Structure 1
Amino acid sequence: MTAASLHDDAIVIDGLIISNWSRDVFEDMRRGGLTAANCTCSVWEGFTDTMRNIARWKEWFRAHGDLICQVRTTDDIRRAKEDGRTGIILGFQNVSAFEDDLGYIELFKDVGVGIVQMAYNTQNFVGSGCYETRDSGLSDFGREVVAEMNRVGILCDLSHVGSRTSREVIEASEKPVAYSHCLPAGLKAHPRNKTDEELRFIAERGGFVGVTMFPPFLPKGPDSTVDDYVAAIDYVTNIVGEDAVGVGTDFTQGQPPEFYDWLVHDKGRARKLTDFGTIRNPDGIATIGDFPNLTAAMERAGWPERRIRGVMGENWLRLLGDVWG
């Protein structure tokens, strides 16, 4: 089977996309053969603004139903594949939309939210992000949030979460949790990258690692290629095993400079946390439509078909099934 035919046949799931949503992006998802993606609809927003964002998504599902559809179950994802559409998993990169009300968690589940990150870079009611000077760990309220997310079936994401808080979420959760989009600190020291020990700890407790290609976190930065991305996935796989790894690109396609400025300030408006520098996606996977090149690079690296299918989507599908039920 050629790389192109394997890609066409495979379940392809991206664990994190935060692009500037439009029909152009949705068309590129189809060009890339994307079966499903975790699409961010909340970062710093509270309850009301997040609900407005979800209402906008509902409009997009109606207006662009030939290209995308909302998915809530793994069966929905398989149907999206059969229908030739991209399934959209609504996801948060922060619990800010939950505010201080546990009842909001089930409300968001009811409107289709399937993945929620426990903190985005800094402290919130639940715990600490990876850019906090002092990681306070999982709060008592946070333990209730984890339990409620377990109960309703929302995946706990730890990508931007502090080390201590992440460890305590992993220990507290009765369901598997994930780093949906991260890179190994063993390849580049960075507050957003995870140490070998952290990667091993989540995997040993049934967790999952989605590997990102966000250039500031790769060793070669904006000079990276799709082959460098595959090498990073390889590095993580050698630590956690091939069944616990997936793709989480962190595509920011079409986003303007002010968007990045909003992201890198605490709560969107307070202190500046980091400077991304030049953001240029790895050569060979510059856009979502280039996704077939990732499958080809995996094949070029000598990966067997089973491993390619697993990392490109089947591992994500299994994890989501375990969490969503």
Structure 2
Amino acid sequence: MSNLHQDSIVIDGLIIANLNRSVFEDMKKGGLAAANCTVSVWEDFPKTVDNIAQLKQLIRDNSDLVTLARNTADIVKAKADGKTGIVLGFQNAHAFEDNLGYIEAFHDMGVRVVQLCYNTQNLVGTGCYERDGGLSGYGREVIAEMNRVGIMVDLSHVGSKTSEEAILASTKPVAYTHCLPLGLKDHPRNKSDAELKFIADHGGFIGVTMFSPFLKRGNESTVHDYVEAIDYVINIVGEDCVGLGSDFTQGHGHEFFDMLTHDKGRWRRLTNFGEVINPEGIRTIGDFPNLTTTMQQSGWSDARITKVLGANWMKFFDQVWGT
């Protein structure tokens, strides 16, 4: 591991791995100071609470490696202690159901990031895989309440119209925690140059993913393709609002992808990724030091690398989590 990687606060804006001790060990090997870990996609309120309770137990059982992160001070401490701060995040506002009061309840439990929609329609708005009706009236109330309590608004899987309206409705900046540019590959999950510029112009943040189906060369991709994609985004929005959002699905099998690619986890098929092979050179979370090395080989300055690895996320977290 290079000194630069070791000295940097490294943050992954989205991990949806099958969390267990071996994944936590890999986070340590990869030098991660923090990761936004998904605890809800299509689960309702009670099941999501159950997921949170189970993850907190897992964190306690592995307290030599991980700790719960509720704010940036917790992340700084995790880094100093050689641990990874686990940030609780949702990939869908589905668990809020139709009850605004649940938002503060989840914040009290430690939830800090919520994506408004996952691929399809919910009570808040529309995902990226169907005709986009925009943000609902209830969706506006949800965003206002998330702004009030200090939960980040994530728009990665959200439709274009709903995203635009959410960016304008939110009083705090919002993020695409894990996305790739449409300019490199035409895919419904990728964001156009105009969309990337729009969120950045409104103080927002872009976490770039390495999920191979959305990368230019698909399963043939390497860590160099990932750096190319980050570079592409920086060329549009600058280097101060860009970070990492790997979308690592480590430890999950076919059944899991089956659930993710069907509406509500069980109805119509929305997309089919086939076999997903992470880019060569960053196959696992433990390979993160290779990313820093590749950035260095690509001629990036130390200052840019430090920002993209996590310093930018830290600044952004402070903005959106402060109440």
Residue 232 (structure 2) pairs with residue 235 (structure 1) = yes
Determine the C-alpha separation between the residues in 2 that align with 1:67 and 1:322: 27
Residue 201 (structure 2) pairs with residue 211 (structure 1) = no
Q: How does 1:282-321 map to 2 (within 5 A)?
A: 282-321=279-318
2:38 aligns to what?
40
Question: SS at the partner of 2:48?
Answer: helix
Task: Tell me the TM-score normalized by structure 1.
Answer: 0.99
2:321 aligns to what?
324
1:151 aligns to what?
148
1:57 aligns to what?
55
Determine the C-alpha separation between the residues in 1 that align with 2:180 and 2:71: 27
Question: Which residue among 236, 239, 245 is the counterpart of 1:248?
Answer: 245
Determine the C-alpha separation between the residues in 2 that align with 1:196 and 1:61: 39
Question: SS at the partner of 1:36?
Answer: strand
The C-alpha deviation readout for 1:118-166, integer Å capped at 9, x for no partner, is: 000000000000001x101000000000000000000000000000000
Question: SS at the partner of 1:15?
Answer: strand
Residue 128 (structure 2) pairs with residue 165 (structure 1) = no
Amino acid across the alignment from 1:324 = W
The C-alpha deviation readout for 1:185-244, integer Å capped at 9, x for no partner, is: 000000000000000000000000000000000010001000110000000001111001
Structure 2, unaligned runs of 5 or more = none
Q: How does 1:262-277 map to 2 (within 5 A)?
A: 262-277=259-274
Determine the C-alpha separation between the residues in 1 that align with 2:46 and 2:285: 30
Moved over 4 A (4+): none
The C-alpha deviation readout for 1:279-310, integer Å capped at 9, x for no partner, is: 00000000000000000010010000110000
Residue 132 (structure 2) pairs with residue 135 (structure 1) = yes
1:98 aligns to what?
96
Question: SS at the partner of 2:32?
Answer: coil
Determine the C-alpha separation between the residues in 2 that align with 1:252 and 1:27: 15
1:189 aligns to what?
186
Determine the C-alpha separation between the residues in 2 that align with 1:201 and 1:175: 15
1:122 aligns to what?
120
Structure 1, unaligned runs of 5 or more = none
Residue 23 (structure 2) pairs with residue 21 (structure 1) = no
Determine the C-alpha separation between the residues in 1 that align with 2:171 and 2:177: 18
Residue 5 (structure 2) pairs with residue 4 (structure 1) = no
Question: SS at the partner of 2:18?
Answer: coil
Question: SS at the partner of 1:109?
Answer: helix
Amino acid across the alignment from 1:189 = D
Q: Report the CA distance between 1:51 and its aligned residue.
A: 0.3
Amino acid across the alignment from 2:89 = G
Determine the C-alpha separation between the residues in 1 that align with 2:123 and 2:211: 27
Q: Report the CA distance between 1:277 and its aligned residue.
A: 1.9
Q: Report the CA distance between 1:278 and its aligned residue.
A: 2.2
Amino acid across the alignment from 1:143 = R
Count the aligned residue pairs: 322
Amino acid across the alignment from 2:27 = M
1:180 aligns to what?
177
Task: Tell me the TM-score normalized by structure 2.
Answer: 0.99
CA RMSD of aligned residues (A): 0.6
Amino acid across the alignment from 1:23 = R
Amino acid across the alignment from 1:226 = V
Question: SS at the partner of 1:13?
Answer: strand
Question: SS at the partner of 2:269?
Answer: coil
Question: SS at the partner of 1:19?
Answer: coil
Matched-pair identity in %: 65
Determine the C-alpha separation between the residues in 2 that align with 1:173 and 1:300: 39
Determine the C-alpha separation between the residues in 1 that align with 2:91 and 2:60: 24
